[in-house]
Amino acid sequence: MPELPEVQTLVDDLNDAEVCGAVIKSARVFWHKTIADMEPRAFCHLIAGKQVITIYRRAKYIIFDLTDGWHLLIHLRMSGHLQIASPESPRTKHQHVILELNDLRQLRFTDPRKFGRFFMVSDALPILSRLGPEPLDKQFTAHLLGLQLLPRRRMLKPLLLDQTVIAGLGNIYVDEALWQARLHPHNLGSELNMTQIRSLHRAIRKVLRLGLHNKGTTLGRGQTTFYSLGERQGRNRNHLKVFRRTGLPCMRCRTPIERLIVGQRSTHICPRCQTV
Ligand SMILES: [Zn+2]
């Protein structure tokens, strides 16, 4: 599933491709559930003629600010991604939404698993105000992380995946951050001391920055694999320390990495570096 570095990479690509300024001439929807809370016909009618003003990210949402006060929020979920295509190229079977731009390009939403969603809203606050702080913002201090974790008597793995606690993290970067901070995913948020919180704060920012620097993590060739706008693969897979390295030696202590299930999510740890 695309996480903060992957979504930000797509947003950067969309900006580099100068999608801002383009007018969406028309839209076609081939899988009705991709459009959340609205009939596809209403969505197509509403978005036609709107100009893209800005494109940015909040948590795992890609946000298009459009003219007339509308916003298109895209959540990629498991396998969604965006591509720029020419109108002549045939639609592939997993392309569920096509936005026709006035510059003879199309923005296509591909989503083999079909969990991705488009939210067309005049007020984005009901969706965005529920989200926790952005971990790469200047305001995200160790103190703020402590305020988010200490009141919660929950295990760190599900806690850090909870988008209302901290925005943008998913399975890959939570495992990587916990390994960096030498914290076990079973540890409770409420039982961390300030040294551990500071270490986790540093670790979260470090693994996200590394992911961003490497333009995201692309895992294998499966349907949930991440590709950037130009179908480029992210390079961060080669820099992962624990995620999907089961049985391989820990890069700190050579102990084989173990896989366990925490809160129904596949989790990877070094059993020696990360103790409860
Ligand atoms: Zn280790």
Query: Considering the domain boundaries, does residue 134 fall inside one?
Result: no
Tell me which long-range contacts 61-64 makes (C-beta under 8 A, separation of at least 24): 61/7, 61/127, 61/128, 62/7, 62/10, 62/11, 62/14, 63/124
Separation between Cα atoms, residue 66 and residue 163, nearest integer Å: 25
Q: Do 87 and 11 lie in a common domain?
A: yes
Q: Do 8 and 122 lie in a common domain?
A: yes
Q: What is the pLDDT of residue 223?
A: 56
**Residues having C-beta closer than 5 Å to ion ligand 1:** 250, 252-253, 255, 270, 272-273
Query: Considering the domain boundaries, does residue 171 fall inside one?
Result: yes
Q: Do 147 and 124 lie in a common domain?
A: no
Q: Do 48 and 75 lie in a common domain?
A: yes
Q: Do 109 and 153 lie in a common domain?
A: no
- Residue 145 has φ and ψ, to the nearest 5°, of -60, -40
Going from the Cα of 249 to the center of ligand 1, the distance in angstroms, rounded, reads 8
Query: Considering the domain boundaries, does residue 255 fall inside one?
Result: yes
Is the pTM higher than 0.85? The answer reads yes
Query: Over its length of 276 residues, how does the chain's per-residue pLDDT go in tens digits?
Result: 899 999 999 999 999 999 999 999 999 999 999 999 999 999 999 999 999 999 999 999 999 999 999 999 999 999 999 999 999 999 999 999 999 999 999 999 999 999 999 999 999 999 999 999 999 999 999 999 999 999 999 999 999 999 999 999 999 999 999 999 999 999 999 999 999 999 999 999 999 999 999 999 988 766 557 777 877 888 898 999 999 999 999 999 999 999 999 999 999 999 999 988
Separation between Cα atoms, residue 209 and residue 206, nearest integer Å: 5
Going from the Cα of 246 to the center of ligand 1, the distance in angstroms, rounded, reads 12
Q: By the 8 A CB rule, do 183 and 274 touch?
A: yes
Q: Among the three residues 79, 105, 128, which one is the final residue of a domain in this structure?
A: 128
CATH number (domain holding residue 195): 1.10.8.50
Going from the Cα of 143 to the center of ligand 1, the distance in angstroms, rounded, reads 27
The rounded Cα 2 to chain-centroid distance in angstroms is: 4
Q: What is the pLDDT of residue 228?
A: 78
Greatest Cα pair distance in the chain: 59
Q: Do 112 and 203 lie in a common domain?
A: no
Task: Print the domain residue range for 147.
Answer: 142-269
Query: Can you state the percent helix, strand and coil of the chain, rounding each to 5?
Result: 30, 25, 45
Q: Among the three residues 102, 128, 154, which one is the final residue of a domain in this structure?
A: 128
* Positions marked active-site: 2-3, 60, 265
Separation between Cα atoms, residue 89 and residue 51, nearest integer Å: 24
DSSP, collapsed to helix, strand or coil, labels residue 6 as helix
Query: Considering the domain boundaries, does residue 199 fall inside one?
Result: yes
Query: Considering the domain boundaries, does residue 67 fall inside one?
Result: yes
Q: Do 170 and 98 lie in a common domain?
A: no
Q: Do 234 and 157 lie in a common domain?
A: yes
How many domains is the chain built from?
2
Residues in the chain, overall count: 276
Q: Among the three residues 128, 162, 197, which one is the final residue of a domain in this structure?
A: 128
- E strand residue ranges, the chain: 24-29, 52-58, 61-66, 71-75, 81-85, 95-101, 106-110, 117-121, 258-262, 265-269
Query: Considering the domain boundaries, does residue 137 fall inside one?
Result: no
What's 262's DSSP letter? E
Query: Considering the domain boundaries, does residue 239 fall inside one?
Result: yes
Going from the Cα of 190 to the center of ligand 1, the distance in angstroms, rounded, reads 24
Query: Considering the domain boundaries, does residue 122 fall inside one?
Result: yes
The backbone region for 27, taken as left when phi is positive above 0, alpha when psi lies in -120 to 50, beta otherwise, is: beta
Q: Do 76 and 151 lie in a common domain?
A: no
With vertex at residue 230, the alpha carbon angle to CA 37 and CA 17, rounded to the nearest 5 degrees, is 80
Q: Do 124 and 148 lie in a common domain?
A: no
Q: Do 146 and 263 lie in a common domain?
A: yes
The rounded Cα 210 to chain-centroid distance in angstroms is: 15
Q: By the 8 A CB rule, do 201 and 194 touch?
A: no
Going from the Cα of 34 to the center of ligand 1, the distance in angstroms, rounded, reads 42
Going from the Cα of 244 to the center of ligand 1, the distance in angstroms, rounded, reads 15
CATH number (domain holding residue 57): 3.20.190.10
User: What count of other Cβ atoms lies within 10 Å of the Cβ of residue 155?
Assistant: 18
Q: What is the pLDDT of residue 103?
A: 96
Q: Do 146 and 124 lie in a common domain?
A: no
